[in-house]
Amino acid sequence: MQRSVLFLLAGLFIMLLVTCRKKDSSSSASSLGSYSFAASELAILPYPTVDTLIFKSNEGDSIIFIYSGRNSVMKTYYDKPDNPSGYQGNYYTCEVNSTGFVSPNSDYLVFNLHFLDPFLGNAGVKYFNMGVVTSNSGSCILSAEFRFEPDTLISYMPDAQFKTGGYVKGLVNSLVIGPRLFENVYELTGPTLTAYCPVYISMVYYSITEGILGFSQNTGKTWFLLPAKIPPPAGAVTPRSYLPVYPASYWVYNTGSTTSTSRTSNQYVNFSGMTLTTLDAQPVNQYERFVTYGTYQLGWVPVLSETVGAQWEVPLGSPGSNPSTQVYQVMKKTVDSKQDSIIIQKYYTYHKDPLSTNSILMWQTFKKNVGLVFECWVDTATNDTIFRKTLLDYHINH
């Protein structure tokens, strides 16, 4: 990474926050107008949403960004800025609104909203600048500029030197970044000097309501935003400790040659008069989930119980068309090798008419304050393990 570019970017951020150009003192100079951002326009840059942003990568490392402040200054543009006589002529004043974050390792997120020089045309057109620096990864910076209107980012073609400008690759209704699912995400990129940057940031994921949600390198390494704590609304269902399905949580599992991810909703949601969280799109009421099969609603069924010996049945479809049922039983409540509290339960499937029992026996382990950590299916006819699911990574947003 070119350190000089890093320091230049940091210096630009500091300058935008604390300085403005002095106005001409000539009595004959006149203001031709002033451009400022309305509150609806400033919302394109939502910070400070929180004081600290934590990004985790798909390789396990993290970056902690600390909020550096937000400020607005009025920059002055003169008709004759380079006049050797000292008289600079009439002028406009235009707002520059800037904010940023910096990590202890000199990683930077830098943003500013500004107008171009009205004397050069395009008076009143609004621009959004973004800089992303990950110094500890050895990558070059991403620096991109976009036009914007309230609630909309617009591509801005690069200049002749291919140093500024940015592209909106797309606006996606829902997008998985790492293990997290985000909604209404802009995919943004900027000019990339690949000849000088064999490793570079190839994409930034942005939300107008949350800011940067993640970014990725051309190598495939991707960082995603860990969520801030979400306070529960009044009357919200409180998750219980063996199934802590707080909003914006996730669990990543190894399922053999692949991985799978379970996710909660990003916010509390309303369902049948209740305020709760969903897990894999199913509403969860403590240790129960709401199950539907097409148009048939089975209703609330248990997921687990803390009572040893508890037993319950869960039909696998509409009773009129699917006579199969799963039978669950809590076998043990104990501690594991790390002295963490766990619940072990088993379940199997049987067919009611004609009556027959499947030879597959399924075992599940739930850990306190974590959730499901292990599941395996054993064919009791052959004593073979035919499926295994082991927790690899998780984030409980509580």
- Interval 25-77: pLDDT, tens: 445 789 999 999 999 999 999 999 889 999 999 999 999 999 999 999 999 99
Q: Quote the pLDDT of residue 122.
A: 81
Close Cβ partners of 260 (under 8 Å, ≥ 6 residues apart): 252, 253, 389
Residue 168: name the closest of 150, 192, 152, 149 by CA: 152
Q: Quote the pLDDT of residue 5.
A: 42
SS3 10: helix
Q: Quote the pLDDT of residue 10.
A: 43
Rounded Cα distance, 95 and 118, in Å = 12
Beta bridge partners of 182: 175
Rounded Cα distance, 27 and 20, in Å = 20
Give the chain's residues under pLDDT 70. Answer: 1-27, 136-139, 159-163, 192-195, 353
Rg (CA), the chain: 28
The single residue listed with the structure tokens 């027959």 is 356
Q: Quote the pLDDT of residue 160.
A: 67
The single residue listed with the structure tokens 């008709």 is 79
- Interval 350-394: pLDDT, tens: 887 677 788 999 999 999 999 999 999 999 999 999 999 999 999
- Report residue 311 as tokens: 């037993």
Q: Quote the pLDDT of residue 22.
A: 36
Q: Quote the pLDDT of residue 4.
A: 41
Strands of 311-315's sheet, edge to edge? Answer: 259-263, 250-254, 384-395, 371-379, 356-367, 341-351, 324-335, 311-315
The single residue listed with the structure tokens 């395009």 is 122
Domain boundaries, the chain: 3-225, 250-395
Beta bridge partners of 205: 187, 214
For residue 44, the tally of other CB atoms under 10 A from its CB is: 22
